[in-house]
Amino acid sequence: MNRVHEYTKGVRERAQAGGGGLCAVFLCTPLEFFDKTCYTVYTDDFCGRGRAPHGDAMDINKYTPKFKTAQKHLLHLADLTAEEIFEILYTAKLFKKKYRVGENAPVLKGKTVALLFGNASTRTRVSFEMGIRQLGGDYIFLPKNETQLARGESIKDTAVMLGRYGLAALVLRAFPDEQVIEFSEWSEVPVINGISDRSHPLQVLADLFTVWEVKGRLDDLKLAYIGDGNNVANSLIMGCSKVNMDVAIASPHGYSPDREVVERGMQYGNVLITDDVAAAVRGADVVYTDVFISMNDEDDERKKQKLARYRVTPEVMALAKEDAVFMHCMPARRGEEVAAEVIDGPQSIVYDQAENRLHLNKAVLAMLA
């Protein structure tokens, strides 16, 4: 038992004895407890401040959608309420239903969306390009390194100027989070975060949509993420906790998700951060992983070694519920973060997940552009 386990155990005992909530104490804990290399948080028995209220309001199946949002931009899931997430998922469901019968609402007719991408992409690019076409719109694909941004032009000048050309929305891919926010501050048109250093909101919205489709509900499910505490892990914490899904992240010391995101997620739901794969996966309805080394990161041998115990194998899947599904945002490396028997096996829903990027992106564009 490490120091933080001891600490949280003491807090839990005090909380159980009526001495205050874990979350409240956690938030005023000295910084040393949150050293990214060593912290573990238990909220499973915390039910005071912060836990989102259970009940019809948080059950997507009892929610009545209006198919609209008050949001101007889509930057991070932290900005959305559970209801706003439900609105997007219901809209994606509608678009998927239409797509399946060969129908498409031309809601982007006469509109053009700019796709300003800073790195390579298959799913994000194709799902946006096809989605925009299917909605009757047009797009401009702008590789960042072919714009003046690559030669030092400011975010302000780029954002203000792009807004003057009549674009309906601007999708950013692979920008630092600070720059995504700066774009949104200057842009007259909606800015959509197609992945940033710390966040992959569209991916996780598509993932929640996929879980809802496959499991028939979201609340009271448990998702276990195994591996690098990267942008996908951060967004899973935020997305799951907002919709009342429990989320457990198993990462080696030094590769935990962002402390700020964990703290925020704990305000909404049950978040477990651990270095123990079995503790995370036990009882999970969904087991999720991502590549060991994210795009644009150095091919880091030390990191790969530390992550070697964090693979999703058939043995790991056996620890989850019998009807658990396997998810991966892709691209995947069989034999590294996931065994081929798992990703190509009967529990895998990775291609549904990838397809749903299309329907989800269409929903977001229809609501914002």
CA–CA dist 17, 11 (Å, integer): 10
CB of 193 to ligand CP, least distance (A): 12
Q: Which of 195, 233, 240, 363 binds ligand CP (CB under 6 A)?
A: 195
Which span (41-49, 105-113, 118-126, 276-284) binds ligand CP, by CB under 6 A? Answer: 118-126
Q: What residues numbered 330-359 form the site for ligand CP, per CB under 6 A? A: 330
Which span (99-107, 119-127, 252-260, 307-315) binds ligand CP, by CB under 6 A? Answer: 119-127
130 burial level (CB within 10 Å; 0-12, 13-18, 19+): middle
Residue 133 designated active-site = no
Residue 290 designated active-site = yes
Look at residue 151 and give its three-state secondary structure.
helix
Q: Which of 69, 121, 193, 199 binds ligand CP (CB under 6 A)?
A: 121
Residue 297 designated active-site = no
The catalytically annotated residue of 198, 329, 353, 359 is 329
Peptide bond before 314: cis, by omega within 30 degrees of 0?
A: no
CB 325 within 8 A of CB 284: no
Does residue number 122 form part of the binding site for ligand CP (CB under 6 A)? yes
Q: How many CB atoms lie within 10 A of CB 122?
A: 11
Q: What residues numbered 76-115 form the site for ligand CP, per CB under 6 A? A: none
Residue 200 designated active-site = yes
Of 208, 155, 183, 203, the C-alpha closest to 73 is: 183
Q: What residues numbered 215-234 form the site for ligand CP, per CB under 6 A? A: none
The catalytically annotated residue of 73, 76, 123, 203 is 203
CA–CA dist 83, 104 (Å, integer): 25
Does residue number 296 form part of the binding site for ligand CP (CB under 6 A)? no
CA–CA dist 192, 169 (Å, integer): 7
Does residue number 274 form part of the binding site for ligand CP (CB under 6 A)? no
CB 109 within 8 A of CB 136: yes
CB of 126 to ligand CP, least distance (A): 8
How many Cα atoms occupy the beta-carbon half-sphere of 180 within 13 Å?
24
Residue with tokens 């050293």, as numbered in its chain: 35
Residue 51 designated active-site = no
Residues near ligand CP, by CB under 6 A: 121-124, 195, 203, 329-330
* Residues involved in catalysis: 173, 200, 203, 290, 329, 357
